[in-house]
Structure 1
Amino acid sequence: MLVRSGILTSADGETVAVENANASGAVVLVCEHASSVLPLAAGTLGLTAEALASHIAWDPGALAVARLLSEKLDAVLIHQRFSRLVYDCNRPPESPAAMPEKSEIYEIPGNKDLSVAERYARTAAIYVPFHDRVSAELARRSGEGRPAVLVTVHSFTPVYFGKPRAVEIGILHDADSRLADAMLDGAAKTGRYRVERNSPYGPEDGVTHTLRLHALPAGHANVMIEVRNDLIANSVDQEVMADYLAGLIADAVSSVGRQ
């Protein structure tokens, strides 16, 4: 039987991980879907090993690229240590997608008919500490008079519901498009990848929650990056992609800073 309350124990460790905490760069990197790990009490959520290794559980390659970006940009990196299937930290607690009962073609038995108490327990254990840590980092920078640019890093599956996706990199934004505009301008000049605005998702799909929560109210420049995961499936490709993205981000941050 699946254990649904007391979702985390001391054996699971911390919810959130921070790397390069003393970075001097302006960029704050966030990776909400970094891990496919489930808390011990969650078991397998009733899923097969195949499903738990797939894109429904995490964003394959995203953490590796984010770590490389952290090095190249001298940026702090904040990432979630548990699978999006237990709680998707890029969704607010009231969203059905925060603890999905189904993801693409997969039913998720361990998320079926969760009680209010069970949903609250997951929110308190996973969502709140994660976003508290992001808030604390941004507040610390503001208090020190340092700039903060929020960049979230994701990957997406090349085939969704049987349909191939042609887009290779998505540059996503909500109401503040400054950084996205500058990155899209830079991408257009290189022509290296098929880069599109608000694709394969957009704000209407609810994917800009982290940007809305942390960046928009404070006026921080921000962007969400989506990379097709077949382009970052190994360490060589991850390095190539990180080099490309680091250049786009650095140029865009400089451009926005001059505005």
Structure 2
Amino acid sequence: MTGLLSEADGLPVAVDNPDAEGLVLLVCEHASRRLPEKYGTLGLSPEALSSHIAWDPGALAVSRLLSVSLDATLIHQRFSRLVYDCNRPPEAEAAMPAVSEIFDIPGNSAISHDERRARTEALYQPFRDKLSSFIAERKQAGRPPVLVTMHSFTPVYHGLQREVEIGILHDEDTRLADAMLAAAGKNKKYIVRRNEPYGPADGVTHTLIEHGLKNGLPNVMIEVRNDLISNDGGQRVMADYLTDLLGESLKELSQ
């Protein structure tokens, strides 16, 4: 363990289904609301620590169901994005935010250069290295993966209701997003939109750029409104829908 993570904390990165035969590599950067022992509560209330600012509720559960249905490897971060947001590069202020939505984060106020480096080395770098090595091994084996990152978002943001239910996000490579949006257009089960409620201008495509674009891999980020995946039933319904959507889209890309 590093000086930041204790033995009780364990490793920062988890890998489910490492020997999967499917094409898809699932990534969940905001899987957990857990904080390393060293940080206590970061000065936050239980309400804040259970809210969306700490993690993406439901995202890991849906990812795990997709890992089974798609026979996909899943790589996820084991600690809260409040300590380090693994979908942001180290130089980004949002990697270790002092404010998130309506909450001030006292434990992230005026972080020193040394502290930023310690968090980067303990949490971001192992996550980045695990993704990089997995992709490199798959490419060397002649099985380059398709990168799919899983997220969730709040139904209400700064007092405004969000109509979109599923966002299909992309950066410069639109191949997989285009195929998914076309497939979703045939099935009106959900309100599915391109680059909503976030897009590249919001700085949310770091993982897609770093591990998808730079490796020439088809890639997409899926955002699901978290009220739709707040329980087991909703998670299973969503996973079934996304399994079908991805399956149809991957077939389209392979033609």
Deviations 1:103-126 (A, max 9, x none): 000000000000000000000000
Instruction: Tell me which residue corresponds to 1:66.
Output: 63
Q: State the alpha-carbon separation in 2 of the partners of residues 52 and 7 from structure 1.
A: 19
The 8 Å contact of residues 150 and 211 in structure 1, kept in 2 or not, is answered as yes
- Per-residue Cα deviation, 1:145-183 (whole angstroms, up to 9, x for no partner): 013100000000001111110000000000000000000
Correspondence 1:87 to 2:84: yes
Instruction: Calculate the TM-score normalised by the size of structure 2.
Output: 0.98
Structure 1 segments, 4+ long, off by >6 Å, are none
Q: Displacement of 1:257 after TM fit?
A: 1.6
Equivalent residue for 2:165, pick from 141, 165, 168: 168
Aligned equivalent of 2:26:
29
Q: Provide Cα deviations, 1:173-201, integer angstroms capped at 9, x if missing partner.
A: 00000000000001010011000000000
State the AA in 2 paired with 1:141: R
How many equivalent pairs are there? 254
Pair 1:228 & 2:194 matched: no
For residues 34-73 of structure 1, what are the structure 2 equivalents within 5 Å?
A: 34-73=31-70
For 1:252, the equivalent position in structure 2 comes to: 249
Deviations along 1:22-57, one digit per CA (max 9) or x if unpaired, are 100000000000000000001000000000000000
CA RMSD of aligned residues (A): 0.8
Instruction: Kindly indicate whether residue 141 of structure 2 is the aligned counterpart of residue 144 of structure 1.
Output: yes
Q: Is residue 46–residue 109 contact of structure 1 (8 Å, CA) maintained in 2?
A: yes
Runs of 5+ in structure 2 lacking a partner?
none
Q: Is 1:114 paired with 2:111?
A: yes
- How far is the alpha carbon of 1:7 from its aligned partner? 2.2
**For 1:190, what is the secondary structure of its paired residue?**
coil
Q: Which amino acid aligns with 2:106?
A: P
Q: CA deviation at 1:74?
A: 0.2
Matching residue of 1:185: 182
Tell me how far apart the structure 2 counterparts of residues 191 and 145 of structure 1 sit (CA, whole Å).
36
Deviations 1:217-240, CA, capped at 9 Å, x for gaps:
111000000000000000011000
What SS class does the counterpart of residue 8 from structure 2 fall into? helix
State the identity %.
64
Instruction: Give the aligned residue type for 1:117.
Output: D
SS in 2 for 1:46: coil
Q: How far apart, in 2, do the equivalents of 1:225 and 1:147 lie?
A: 20
SS of the equivalent of 2:11 reads coil
TM-score normalized with structure 1 length? 0.97
C-alpha distance in structure 1 between counterparts of 2:73 and 2:158, whole Å: 35
In structure 1, what is the Cα distance between the partners aligned to 2:137 and 2:254? Answer: 20
- Return the offset for 1:142: 0.3
**Aligned equivalent of 1:123, options 108, 120, 124:** 120
**2:1 is equivalent to residue 8 of structure 1:** no
Structure 1 unaligned regions, length at least 5:
none
Q: Which residue of 2 aligns with 1:197?
A: 194
CA positional deviation for 1:140: 0.6
Hey, what's the Cα distance between the residues in 1 that align with 2:198 and 2:23? 26
**Structure 1: distance between partners of 2:45 and 2:4:** 20
